Chain A
Amino acid sequence: MKLYEYVIRRLILLVFVLLSVSVIVFYFARGFPTGIAPWAPYIHPKMTAEQIEEVKRAHGFDKPLVEQYFYWLRDVLHGDWGLTGAWAQGRPANEVFFNHFGYTVELAVAGTILTIIIGIPLGIISAVKNNKLPDHISRIIALAGYSTPAYWFGFILQLIFFYYFYLWGLPYLPSSGASDLGTATITRIPIIDGLITGNFAYVWDEFRHLILPSFSLAFISLGFLARIVRASMLEVLRQDYITMARSKGLKERVVIYRHALKNALIPAVTLTGIFFAYLLGGAMITEYVFSWPGVGQQALRAVMQGDSNFILLYTLVFAIIIVLANLIVDVLYAFLDPRIKY
């Protein structure tokens, strides 16, 4: 199979996955016994009974649940994702989503960068000093990372770097929110917004707010990356060409960084890509703990309220991101490792 055939096959599968996900979530979310009635946001107290009927008829809310799906699908294909409930002031679901998506992108990028900066060296040290003290220490850090409850670690960071630093008179970091200086309106990604308008006070404030949540995310996920890098590095270091490089008399540093690292990082690329995709879907708990105004927190609120429109939009975008990320990673893999054929 050629690469482009593979990509096309996967894209066709994407449509299938999206339809299935939407069917499952639709019947789950609309079946909510205590959720927001899907027609409720359209109605205001001054409407007459006839007008209410009219609204219900226009969006198919008077039909049985099985038929309602097709009405929903029709509306979505026309770009109408429905209205959210009172928790988001009844605004259109897609507007709510894209107003908050920039914050999630920012957090995801920062979290991924931190994960790479800490996780990859940790994995390399672990592999090079296999079964020695540095390996044990890095293994404990990595495992502690993914054994840590996300909700707990966020609060610990807040307690130390906000509350105690404040009590001790040290320069403290803000504990919650994305910025004290207003929201981003141009690109909706706050730091880029600040850079465009040249408002460096805003960029600095945003950066300070970003440190704790992104570190919290990175700490929890760097373990996976470090373990993968370690495993693939160990495998690469056993191969003949490494023995060859060593027997040529190359320095150990050159062997590791020039010869081994490139091949060992291929699996790490995959993992980082998938991980970034998951973060783009919103790290729900971290956003909740730090009151970060990203999509994950909005999704959490939507679930608590039983808002089917927002849940549907969120899950579908998430599914698209995950499937596309998998696809991109696969294609990237083929470029990085010429042995792989599709």
Chain B
Amino acid sequence: MQSQKTEARKSEWEARLADIKYTLHLLRKNKLVLAGSILSLFFIILGFLAPILVDPKLAYPEGYPGDMYPFKRKYMWNANHPIQWGSGVSLYAGPEFFILGTDGWGRDLFKMIILAIPVDLYNAAIITIGAALFGTFLGAIAGYSGGIIDEALLRITDIFFAFPGLLLALVFAAMFGRTIETLRLAIMLVWWPPYVRLMRGQVLSEKEKPYVEALKALGAGPFRILFRHILPNSIYPILVQATMDFGGVILTFSALMFLGFSPSPALPELGNLAADGYGHIFDAPWVLIFPGLTMLLISLSFNLIGDGLRDVLDPRLRR
């Protein structure tokens, strides 16, 4: 009896593994997904190595007194640099060479971007996972229980769909103060509703299948059926949505920072670095261009994966 059970479980996992292998095989054929994976892996590794590559203390210039700039801002670009931005650029002819110039604090922009990558990735990951877990949980409960609970949860989701997302996050952030934790919560507040609808739809279609009937007949409890059996069978669309959302979340997070909801102007974060170049777009364009470009590449790499995943996992397109 015991061995039969383990055998059944083993074959179940073998089937799942084979499915994943087939998916990976399909993904490998897609060059854009490959490019996206390599690029995102590069950014993730860079994120882990960032504190080793660059001294984090460099982000906070000496005599940093809270929110005030201790000196007149100086944006510098090397005199002998191959790129020339045109008139109005303040040139720097010292011994040091800044490959991407400096920002207003006189910090090396290249090093600041490296320091900023883990901040963005980490926060976006927390926000995406938090929103996905919350939305999936609510959606699963709504779909499985049906009736009045389903109706109530759906109406609550409707309310959040009718909000202007960015404004809701802004109001929330403005109300509870400018800390990273508030920003995370604020963005989670905006990003969970799609998961409710997605998961609910999945659960509704899975619920009618014979294996759920069989489980019920065997006397399995609702939570066991839901989280041990239905969830693994409907996780793919959630994964795709989360991968696609990751790119959007990272953009929203940096946009909030850009709009001035950052806890400190010296925080190395891509939106925050770009915000420093806001009033200086014509005399120091690099301060805005390079952090934004990094942001674009990070977001693009995850979107490439998500898009490829969607193609591969879509049963209608899967051939």
Asked if B98 is at the interface (CB within 8 A of a chain A CB), the reply is no
Chain A residue at minimum C-beta to C-beta distance from B304: A143
Nearest 5 pairs of A and B residues by beta carbon: A152-B292, A147-B299, A147-B300, A319-B162, A318-B164
- In the bound assembly, the distance between CA atoms of A330 and B203 in angstroms comes to 23
Of residues A152, A153, A158, A164, which shows the largest number of chain B Cβ atoms within 10 Å of its Cβ?
A152
- In the bound assembly, the distance between CA atoms of A140 and B218 in angstroms comes to 50
Chain A residue at minimum C-beta to C-beta distance from B86: A167
B287, chain A: closest CB distance, angstroms? 10
What is A's interface to B at a CB cutoff of 8 Å? Answer: 13, 16-17, 20-21, 24-25, 28-29, 31-35, 136, 139-140, 143-144, 146-153, 155-156, 158-159, 163-164, 167, 227, 231, 234-235, 281-282, 284-285, 288, 299-300, 303-304, 306, 311, 314-315, 318-319, 322-323
Report yes or no: A318 in contact with B163, Cβ–Cβ below 8 A. Answer: yes
- Per a CB cutoff under 8 Å, which of A35, A139, A311, A322 touches B32? A139
Report yes or no: B300 in contact with A16, Cβ–Cβ below 8 A. Answer: no
- In the bound assembly, the distance between CA atoms of A314 and B248 in angstroms comes to 24
Report yes or no: B167 in contact with A315, Cβ–Cβ below 8 A. Answer: yes
- Per a CB cutoff under 8 Å, which of B86, B247, B271, B293 touches A163? B86
Chain A residue at minimum C-beta to C-beta distance from B169: A303
- In the bound assembly, the distance between CA atoms of A28 and B289 in angstroms comes to 35
The residues of A that contact B254 with a CB separation of less than 8 Å are 149
B252, chain A: closest CB distance, angstroms? 10
The residues of A that contact B166 with a CB separation of less than 8 Å are 284-285
Q: Which of B302-319 contact A (CB under 8 A)?
A: 303-304, 307, 314, 316-317
Of residues A13, A146, A164, A227, which shows the largest number of chain B Cβ atoms within 10 Å of its Cβ?
A146
Chain B residue at minimum C-beta to C-beta distance from A323: B162
Report yes or no: B171 in contact with A29, Cβ–Cβ below 8 A. Answer: yes
- Per a CB cutoff under 8 Å, which of A151, A167, A315 touches B163? A315
What is B's interface to A at a CB cutoff of 8 Å? Answer: 31-32, 86-87, 155, 158-159, 161-164, 166-168, 170-172, 174-175, 247-248, 251, 254-255, 258-260, 271, 274, 281-282, 285, 288-289, 291-293, 295-296, 299-300, 303-304, 307, 314, 316-317
Report yes or no: A16 in contact with B155, Cβ–Cβ below 8 A. Answer: yes
What does DSSP make chain B's interface, helix, strand, loop or mixed?
Answer: helix
- In the bound assembly, the distance between CA atoms of A49 and B259 in angstroms comes to 38
| Contact of A144 with B255 at beta-carbon distance under 8 Å, contacts A21-B163, A31-B175, A32-B174 already known | no
The residues of A that contact B304 with a CB separation of less than 8 Å are 143
- In the bound assembly, the distance between CA atoms of A220 and B230 in angstroms comes to 36
| Contact of A167 with B255 at beta-carbon distance under 8 Å, contacts A32-B175, A144-B296 already known | no
The residues of A that contact B170 with a CB separation of less than 8 Å are 300, 303
Chain B residue at minimum C-beta to C-beta distance from A23: B159
Chain A residue at minimum C-beta to C-beta distance from B288: A155
- In the bound assembly, the distance between CA atoms of A322 and B159 in angstroms comes to 11
The residues of A that contact B296 with a CB separation of less than 8 Å are 144, 147-149, 152
- Per a CB cutoff under 8 Å, which of A17, A28, A323 touches B172? A28
Report yes or no: A151 in contact with B255, Cβ–Cβ below 8 A. Answer: yes
A142, chain B: closest CB distance, angstroms? 8
Of residues A32, A149, A284, which shows the largest number of chain B Cβ atoms within 10 Å of its Cβ?
A149
- In the bound assembly, the distance between CA atoms of A148 and B293 in angstroms comes to 8
Of residues B31, B171, B304, which shows the largest number of chain A Cβ atoms within 10 Å of its Cβ?
B171
Report yes or no: B164 in contact with A281, Cβ–Cβ below 8 A. Answer: yes
The residues of B that contact A140 with a CB separation of less than 8 Å are 32
> Could you write out 15 A-B pairs with CB less than 8 Å apart?
A13-B155, A17-B158, A28-B172, A32-B174, A143-B303, A147-B300, A149-B251, A152-B289, A152-B293, A153-B292, A155-B281, A159-B289, A167-B86, A281-B164, A323-B162
| Contact of A147 with B172 at beta-carbon distance under 8 Å, contacts A152-B296, A300-B259 already known | no
The residues of A that contact B285 with a CB separation of less than 8 Å are 159
Report yes or no: A306 in contact with B32, Cβ–Cβ below 8 A. Answer: no
- In the bound assembly, the distance between CA atoms of A25 and B79 in angstroms comes to 52
Chain A residue at minimum C-beta to C-beta distance from B291: A152
- Per a CB cutoff under 8 Å, which of A146, A152, A282, A299 touches B295? A152
